[in-house]
Amino acid sequence: MVTSNGSQTPSYNFLIYGKTGWIGGLLGQLCSQQNIPYTYGSGRLESRETLINDINTINPTHVFNAAGVTGRPNVDWCETHKVETIRTNVVGTLTLADVCREKGLVLINYATGCIFEYDEGHPLGSGVGFKEEDSANFIGSFYSKTKAMVEELLKNYENVCTLRVRMPISSDLSNPRNFITKISRYEKVVNIPNSMTILDELLPISIEMAKRNLTGIYNFTNPGCVSHNEVLELYREYIDPTFTWKNFNLEEQAKVIVAPRSNNELDTTKLKTEFPELLSIKESLVKYVFEPNRKTPVAA
């Protein structure tokens, strides 16, 4: 493509896996808005031949993997569907990475940061986050265990960019996958500071990362932490002044879930260095999620 001043701009053609998923759907919308040609892959991740066929047919410049098993309605599903979880999250992801490497393609892989939990070296509230080079220390759920396994193996693929997403949030407050939507519907919530991912801000950054051909692991969250109560206080301030909620502790939570949940802070220095404009989690929540959805009157 030639710009008005005659300079050449690179042309892109994205191949996206995860058409029916939340992130995959949003990626397609972003590509349309940015006039980037894209196609959703029709191949099954665990079927090498179908992936090769997709790539030969579409001839992409970059591949995005937003497919994966998180479980419905939540990760507890994975505890009773272990083979299905392995097939997609481990076998499928590795197969796609391997095919992309063979074809000389960068793979942007939307992974998870729910493979860590606060520990002695990273105490809750300390501001000391887990770094990209840190290995998983949380395998309390089978979902997290498979994600930790595959991240460790993907470190050997120099063509893969692994994005550690956590507790994703978007401006679509009707989406049941949205962390805010989830906790606003729970009978009780824990109250623990966590790193989180504002998709409205970070998904466009992931497209830019592809354009820059960045690879390796990135903590893909907004800088800083926010607690469940702080999120719900913003919800009450901007959306529903009558909203109320109840807290319970981890011991009480354990009685109503099958698998333990990950709580952690991720260090975002690496991502922030590459994208200095990245907003802190609380700023991003207000700008991208709560302000556009405001239902309460603006204070005079």
Dist CA 84 CA 69 (whole Å): 8
Looking at residue 251, what is its pLDDT?
A: 79
Within 13 Å, how many C-alpha atoms sit on residue 158's CB side? 2
Does residue 124 lie in a domain region? yes
pLDDT tier, 300 (very low <50, low <70, confident <90, very high otherwise): low
Inter-residue contact 27 to 66 (CB < 8 Å): yes
The mean predicted confidence, pLDDT, of the chain is 93
Domain that holds residue 109: 14-170+196-224+264-281
Does residue 38 lie in a domain region? yes
Compute the average pLDDT of residues 33-41. Answer: 98
DSSP state, residue 200:
H
pTM score: 0.94
Looking at residue 74, what is its pLDDT?
A: 76
pLDDT tens, position by position, 272-297 = 999 999 999 999 999 999 999 999 98
Does residue 184 lie in a domain region? no
pLDDT at 1 over 90: no
The residue whose two tokens read 């894209």 is 38
Backbone phi and psi for residue 162, each to the nearest 5 degrees, phi listed first: -95, 120
Count up the domains in the chain and report the number: 1
User: Which tokens is 217 given?
Assistant: 């692991």
Dist CA 159 CA 39 (whole Å): 20
Within 13 Å, how many C-alpha atoms sit on residue 5's CB side? 2
Does residue 21 lie in a domain region? yes
Inter-residue contact 122 to 265 (CB < 8 Å): yes
Does residue 115 lie in a domain region? yes
Does residue 74 lie in a domain region? yes
**CA proximity to 13, closest of 205, 158, 34:** 34
Does residue 293 lie in a domain region? no
pLDDT tier, 229 (very low <50, low <70, confident <90, very high otherwise): very high
pLDDT tens, position by position, 69-114 = 777 767 889 899 999 999 999 999 999 999 999 999 999 999 999 9
**CA proximity to 12, closest of 63, 64, 60, 66:** 60
Q: What is the per-residue DSSP string for 95-147?
A: HHHHHHHHTT-EEEEEEESTT---BTTB-TTS--PBPTTPPP---SSHHHHHH
With H, G, I as helix, E, B as strand and everything else as coil, classify residue 81: coil
Dist CA 146 CA 70 (whole Å): 11
What sign results for the dihedral spanned by CA atoms 211, 212, 218, 222? negative
Domain CATH for 269: 3.40.50.720
Looking at residue 261, what is its pLDDT?
A: 82
Does residue 186 lie in a domain region? no
pLDDT tens, position by position, 183-219 = 999 888 989 999 999 999 999 999 999 999 999 999 9
pLDDT at 253 over 90: no
Inter-residue contact 183 to 254 (CB < 8 Å): no
pLDDT tens, position by position, 218-227 = 999 999 999 9
Give me the torsion for CA of 51, 55, 60, 62, rounded to 10°.
Answer: 30
Backbone phi and psi for residue 62, each to the nearest 5 degrees, phi listed first: -145, 155
User: Which tokens is 216 given?
Assistant: 């390796």
